């Protein structure tokens, strides 16, 4: 399950400037774990101490907010794009 | 034009980390929103009622409390702000409120409060060296950014949902920006812009310039206080889309107290208004969880149709802390309130104004807003922008041939056996 993750600007300090990452995983949670393995430190930026998505982070699977899906349990298919986007914009 | 600047840094509202004054809006560590930090002690020493009164009749009279950056060139200014605060006795009578006031922001240069935030954001953008302005918008901001960019000679890209009211699309396009109509709702547009902002070196006023932009809404609070004789009202009710305006009115009042510009009448409450068809913030407040869950908007109040509001949590904090309330209303109630406002006070507000007045009516009927409270309702945009909402509800009383007899006959039919004033 190769998944493309789009990395937002604030997290690119952890990815050495890369704007995307290729990782393996069959759920959003597994993708976040794989990201952490590839880029240590990124996990705590996305998830809070209780392991939930931080309230100012939005995650989209194929352009759909995972809060409208199954949260971190949302399945991802081979070739899916996962976007991590700061929630604090707009209005 | 840049005067003494009291801006110190950007600071994360969640974790307190500080950042330099740049085009940044998100804390790199926790993704919390960055806010402008000021040297309030210096402001308290140097700014008083007289220095403000000597300033221009616009938002820039409060420049000491706005993020004007060193090295800036001229302000990007169409004259936003310093809009009328008018007593509203007839609307007050209809709602059972004895001391109601309206902050009439329909009369801004592009006809909504968004000119306040745009002027501040693009002034910062120029100081930071940007030559292209951009935004994600439900309509009013697109118009405002397009107008201010034209004024400043900047290129502009304004992103909007493609199903907006015609008046808002044409009203933005006329200023010559690139209007990008996105097949999706505002939250889709916003997500796209968050990504575009990361790829293109543009000044997205409500994305990478959001800390500066949001500060512009404080001027509503500053003006209300000044126009009431440097006293705060007992109660303010504001419409909520992202929740940012409400949060910044609260911040404005807090700052005025902190720097000594308001010394009496310092207790206030703030309440928030949403359309039931897009009410993620009021829902979180009413259900007691305080957890803002995104919704898919379905409301006539398209300017408030943000299903995933960035400042929802802070709006709940401000309303809770000040002892205010939140309410939401149906599309029918919104349209009724637009006509009530127009008929009682001669102010034609857009759908967001209808939301505010209708929610105020509900809160007043429930006794949450007290009859004797000095209450200010923010009417944030002009009704001509959302004429679509009124189609089929108001119109000509008579359609007749151009003869006196035709008119008299029509009048007789409409008012049979009633005396007609000579």
Nearest chain A residue (CA) to B246: A91
Q: Is residue B32 included in any domain, yes or no?
A: no
Q: Give the closest-approach CA distance of A56 to chain B in angstroms.
A: 6
pLDDT tens digits, residue range B9-32? 999 998 899 999 999 999 988 889
B206/A10 CB distance under 8 A: no
Mutate to test the interface with A, among B32, B116, B191, B211 (most CBs of A within 10 A): B191
Domain hosting residue A51, numbered range: 2-86
Specify the pLDDT at position B421: 58
CATH number for the domain including B362?
3.40.50.1100
Specify the pLDDT at position B419: 57
Question: Which B positions 309-328 lie with beta carbon below 8 A of chain A?
Answer: 309-311, 313
Write down the residue that tokens 């001669």 correspond to.
Answer: B346
pLDDT tens digits, residue range B278-336? 999 999 999 988 889 889 999 999 999 999 999 999 999 999 999 999 999 999 999 99
The pair of three-digit structure tokens given for residue B149, joined into one six-digit string: 């960019």
pLDDT tens digits, residue range B379-405? 999 999 999 999 999 999 999 999 999
Q: Is residue A76 included in any domain, yes or no?
A: yes
What is the total count of domains within chain B? 1
B195 shares contact with chain A (CB less than 8 Å): yes
The shares of helix, strand and coil residues in chain B, as percent rounded to the nearest 5, are 40, 15, 40
What is the total count of domains within chain A? 1
Per the CB < 8 A criterion, the answer to whether B294 and B280 are in contact is: yes
Nearest to B294 among A56, A68, A89 (CB): A68
Per the CB < 8 A criterion, the answer to whether B322 and B268 are in contact is: yes
Specify the pLDDT at position B71: 67
Predicted confidence pLDDT, tens digits, chain A (91 residues): 799 999 988 899 899 999 999 999 999 999 999 999 999 999 999 998 899 999 889 999 988 889 889 999 999 999 999 999 888 777 7
Write down the residue that tokens 């009417």 correspond to.
Answer: B379
In sign, the C-alpha dihedral spanning B45, B51, B53, B59 is: negative
CA atoms within 13 A on the CB side of B396: 6
Q: Is residue B133 included in any domain, yes or no?
A: no
pLDDT tens digits, residue range B201-254? 999 999 999 999 999 999 999 999 999 999 999 999 999 999 999 999 999 999
- Mean per-residue pLDDT of chain B: 95
pLDDT tens digits, residue range B398-410? 999 999 999 999 9
Q: Is residue B243 included in any domain, yes or no?
A: yes
Would you tell me the crossing angle of helices B244-258 and B218-227 to the nearest 10 degrees? 50
Q: Is residue B78 included in any domain, yes or no?
A: no
Cβ contacts of A10-18, under 8 Å, gap ≥ 24 = A10/A45, A10/A86, A10/B26, A10/B27, A10/B28, A10/B31, A11/A42, A11/A45, A11/A46, A11/A84, A11/B28, A13/B28, A14/A39, A14/A41, A14/A42, A14/A45, A15/A39, A15/A42
- Chain A residues near residue B292 by CB distance under 8 angstroms: 55
B31/A10 CB distance under 8 A: yes
Nearest chain A residue (CA) to B313: A55
User: Taking an 8 Å Cβ-Cβ cutoff, which residues of chain A contact chain B?
Assistant: 6, 8-11, 13, 19, 45, 54-58, 60, 63, 65, 67-68, 83, 85-91
User: What value, to the nearest 5°, has the Cα angle with vertex B310 and ends B237 and B241?
Assistant: 40
Per the CB < 8 A criterion, the answer to whether B47 and B64 are in contact is: yes
Cα B186 to Cα B182, B192, B278, B405: the distances in Å are 9, 10, 12, 52
Nearest to A91 among B197, B206, B292 (CB): B206
- Mean per-residue pLDDT of chain A: 91
CATH number for the domain including A67?
3.10.20.30
B191/A83 CB distance under 8 A: yes
> If you write DSSP's letter for every residue of B349-372 in order, what string do you get?
B-HHHHHHHHHHHHHHHTTSS-TT
Specify the pLDDT at position B261: 98
B210/A55 CB distance under 8 A: no
Q: Is residue B210 included in any domain, yes or no?
A: no
Q: Is residue A91 included in any domain, yes or no?
A: no
Please state the separation of Cα B356 from the chain's center in Å: 11
- Chain B residues near residue A87 by CB distance under 8 angstroms: 31, 308, 310
- Chain B residues near residue A67 by CB distance under 8 angstroms: 293-294
Under the banding of pLDDT at 50, 70 and 90, the label for residue B1 is: very low
Q: Which of B166, B181, B112 is nearest to B143 (CA)?
A: B112
Specify the pLDDT at position B109: 98
Residue B419 or residue B394, greater confidence: B394
Query: E strands, B63-152, where?
Result: 85-87, 100-104, 132-136
Per the CB < 8 A criterion, the answer to whether B33 and A88 are in contact is: yes
Specify the pLDDT at position B165: 87
- Chain B residues near residue A60 by CB distance under 8 angstroms: 191
Domain hosting residue B311, numbered range: 85-111+218-390
ipTM: 0.80
Alpha-carbon span A11 to A9, nearest angstrom: 5
Cβ contacts of B389-397, under 8 Å, gap ≥ 24 = B389/B300, B389/B334, B389/B335, B389/B338, B389/B351, B389/B354, B390/B335, B390/B338, B390/B339, B393/B335, B393/B339, B394/B339
Under the banding of pLDDT at 50, 70 and 90, the label for residue B2 is: very low
């Amino acid at each position: 399950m190769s998944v493309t993750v789009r990395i937002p600007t604030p997290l690119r300090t952890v990815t050495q400037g890369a704007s995307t990452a290729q990782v393996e995983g069959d759920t959003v949670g597994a993708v976040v774990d794989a990201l952490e393995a590839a880029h240590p430190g990124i996990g705590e930026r996305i998830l809070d101490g209780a392991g939930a998505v931080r309230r100012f982070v939005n995650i989209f699977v194929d352009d759909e907010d995972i809060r409208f899906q199954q949260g971190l349990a949302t399945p991802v298919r081979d070739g899916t794009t996962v976007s991590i986007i700061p929630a604090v914009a707009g209005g | 034009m840049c005067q003494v600047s009291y801006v110190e840094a950007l600071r994360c509202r969640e974790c307190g980390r500080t950042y330099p004054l740049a085009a940044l809006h998100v804390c790199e560590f926790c993704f919390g929103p960055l806010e402008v930090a000021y040297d309030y002690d210096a402001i308290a020493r140097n700014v008083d009622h007289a220095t403000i009164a000597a300033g221009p009749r616009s938002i820039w009279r409060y420049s000491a409390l706005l993020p004007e950056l060193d090295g800036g060139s001229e302000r990007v200014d169409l004259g936003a702000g310093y809009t009328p605060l008018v007593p509203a006795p007839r609307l007050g009578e209809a709602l059972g409120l004895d001391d109601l006031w309206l902050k009439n922001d329909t009369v801004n240069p592009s006809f909504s409060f968004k000119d306040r935030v745009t002027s501040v954001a693009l002034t910062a953008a120029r100081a930071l060296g940007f030559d292209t302005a951009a935004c994600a918008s439900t309509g009013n901001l697109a118009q405002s950014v397009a107008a201010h960019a034209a004024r400043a000679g900047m290129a502009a890209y304004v992103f909007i949902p493609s199903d907006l009211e015609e008046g808002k699309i044409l009203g933005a396009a006329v200023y010559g920006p690139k209007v990008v109509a996105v097949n999706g709702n505002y939250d889709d547009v916003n997500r796209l812009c968050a990504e575009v902002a990361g790829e293109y070196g543009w000044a997205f006023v409500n994305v990478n310039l959001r800390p500066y932009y949001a500060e512009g809404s404080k001027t509503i609070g500053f003006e209300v206080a000044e126009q009431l004789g440097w006293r705060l009202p007992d109660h303010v009710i504001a419409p909520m889309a992202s929740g940012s305006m409400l949060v910044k009115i609260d911040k404005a009042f807090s700052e005025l107290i902190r720097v000594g510009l308001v010394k009496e009448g310092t207790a206030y409450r703030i309440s928030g208004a949403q359309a039931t068809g897009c009410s993620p913030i009021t829902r979180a407040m009413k259900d007691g969880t305080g957890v803002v869950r995104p919704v898919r908007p379905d409301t006539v109040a398209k300017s408030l149709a943000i299903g995933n509001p960035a400042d929802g949590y802070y709006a709940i904090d401000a309303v809770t802390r000040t002892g205010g309330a939140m309410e939401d209303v149906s599309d029918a109630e919104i349209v009724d309130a637009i006509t009530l406002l127009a008929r009682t006070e001669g102010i034609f507000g857009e759908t967001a104004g209808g939301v505010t007045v209708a929610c105020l009516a509900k809160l007043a009927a429930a006794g949450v807003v007290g009859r004797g409270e000095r209450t200010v309702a923010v009417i944030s945009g002009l009704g001509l922008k959302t004429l679509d909402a009124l189609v089929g509800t108001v119109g000509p009383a008579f359609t007749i041939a151009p003869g006196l007899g035709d008119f008299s006959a029509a009048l007789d039919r409409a008012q049979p056996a009633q005396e007609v004033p000579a």
